[in-house]
Structure 1
Amino acid sequence: MAVRTQVKFYYDVLSPYAWFGFEALCRYQKPWDLDLQLRPINLGKIKKESGNISPGPCADVFKGSLFFPDVQRTSEMMELPYKPLKDFEESVFIKGSLPTQKTLAACQILYPDNMEELTRQSWLGLYSHDMDMTDKGNILQFAEAAQIPDVDKLLEFSVGNEAKQQLISNTTEALESKCFGAPWFMVTNPKTGRREKFFGQDRVEMLGWVLGKEYVGHHPSQ
């Protein structure tokens, strides 16, 4: 029996680039027989511990001049329904995503089969509908759209210590692998046993090269 390729994907819904990387890997799950394991992290903690400066428009005027058009182009290329936030600084740097990330960590424990769709609905909430990632009512909508078996149980669990510790564990695991941003993913090659690390949404083609798999663009199903 063939061994599937394990891919651990570390992400925070605050990053639009992580969304693009997530969707790219999801599209190649079946063609490349990937065992995609989603790991929500605290991106603020990652950046603080690694000393990385955010590429967002508020951190550096030169990087910022490219940020918005680059995200727009990437979303159009991948045919994802991205819409610019009305107030990027408030949504990303002030409000953040901690309650949503804790809910995703709770889902990782309680309903791992629903992780992919809850992750997707959370990103759609932020970058398609400009929804507050700290609002309980919004998170409830994400969970319902993802068809979580017991939404109330998930939300109650997400504010408990176990979900908090899971998020901390994911973040620590990422830091120990020298993660400095998102998306970050680690791949165990089933043929060689070697662990490869990748940063960025544009590394999926390189992943295919490493695994000896054919990359056929952003829409392999077409």
Structure 2
Amino acid sequence: MGGKIACYLDCVSPYSYFAFLHLQKNSAALLSHDVEVEFIPVFLGGINVGSGNKPPWTLPAKAKYSHYDFGRAKKYFDTPNIKTPSFFPILSLLPQRSMTYIKSHFPKTQYESAFGSLWVAMWQDQLDISKPNLLARILSLNFSAGQVKAILEGANKPEYKQKLLDNTQEALSKGAFGCPWFWVTNGEGKEEPFFGSDRFHFMWEFLGLPWKDVELLLKDKAKI
């Protein structure tokens, strides 16, 4: 077995959060099969423009359906307290550049904890993390005051602006048209793309992992 899941995410996307949570929930099982998971920050706005895609809320039919789908996803991923902020969507460049900087300078566990805190802040606590002062407050949950200062300064340096742009272009070069986007390599070295937070069963199959399908149970006659 073995392999790698490269997961391209943006904090502006709640479905990125669902994917992030699901991969973390299954991290021990994936590790036991020698499957590496890497979370890569991208700018979803750039992916939409680069691919010609349009956000769901800009298309009436998609927007109407998203109301149902979002509710179902919240229940499935056990995130009942998240809701769309009144200020949505945000320009996610600053938080995503910050994650790019953090990924380059801090341990993986600290990076992933910080990334997760962005979704909680925006989608549960209703904080506009595109604002530097609010982003700093959330980063302080995982970093010292000096580290937060360095992160915010680093996020505005050309090197990390370019790195986020490169990550976004990399995702586009692999066919991305939204987030979460996955580029998966199996144990044989074969590669395939996957999209969304509801295709993990296809991903496990591609990786050759043992998994259980959804099973519809017969009605229990004893309870009739």
Contact 1:110–1:154 at 8 Å: present in 2 too?
no
Q: Which residue of 2 aligns with 1:13?
A: 11
Report % sequence identity: 27
Aligned partner of residue 7 in structure 2, secondary structure: strand
The one-letter code of the counterpart of 1:143 is L
Aligned partner of residue 174 in structure 1, secondary structure: helix
CA distance in 2, matches of 1:187, 1:146: 29
Aligned-pair distance for 1:7? 1.2
Aligned-pair distance for 1:119? 1.1
132, 142, 153: which is aligned to 2:128?
132
CA distance in 2, matches of 1:6, 1:86: 33
Q: Which residue of 2 aligns with 1:197?
A: 193
The total of aligned residue pairs comes to: 209
CA distance in 1, matches of 2:147, 2:70: 34
The one-letter code of the counterpart of 1:50 is S
Contact 2:44–2:178 at 8 Å: present in 1 too?
yes
Q: How does 1:1-222 map to 2 (within 5 A)?
A: 4-33=2-31, 34-56=35-57, 59-87=58-86, 90-92=87-89, 95-113=90-108, 114-147=110-143, 150-190=147-187, 192-215=188-211
Contact 2:30–2:36 at 8 Å: present in 1 too?
no
Aligned-pair distance for 1:68? 2.4
CA distance in 2, matches of 1:20, 1:49: 24
Cα separation, partners in 2 of 1:105 and 1:143, compared to 1, 3 Å: same
- Deviation sequence 1:163-192 (CA, Å, 0-9, x none): 1111011001101111111000111112x1
Aligned partner of residue 194 in structure 2, secondary structure: strand
Which entry has the higher C-alpha Rg, 1 or 2?
Answer: 2
- Deviation sequence 1:19-40 (CA, Å, 0-9, x none): 1111111112210223111111
CA distance in 2, matches of 1:184, 1:100: 18
Aligned partner of residue 28 in structure 2, secondary structure: coil
The one-letter code of the counterpart of 2:53 is N
Aligned-pair distance for 1:41? 0.7
Structure 1 stretches (4+) deviating beyond 6 angstroms? none
The one-letter code of the counterpart of 1:127 is W
Aligned-pair distance for 1:101? 0.7
Aligned partner of residue 186 in structure 1, secondary structure: strand
Aligned-pair distance for 1:147? 4.0
TM-score (normalised: structure 2):
0.86
Q: 9-18 vs 110-119, which deviates more? A: 110-119
Contact 2:56–2:63 at 8 Å: present in 1 too?
yes
CA distance in 1, matches of 2:150, 2:8: 24
The one-letter code of the counterpart of 1:48 is V
Q: 205-214 vs 37-46, which deviates more? A: 205-214
Contact 1:81–1:128 at 8 Å: present in 2 too?
no
CA distance in 1, matches of 2:168, 2:154: 19
Aligned-pair distance for 1:151? 2.0
CA distance in 2, matches of 1:216, 1:130: 36
Aligned-pair distance for 1:49? 1.1
Aligned-pair distance for 1:150? 2.1
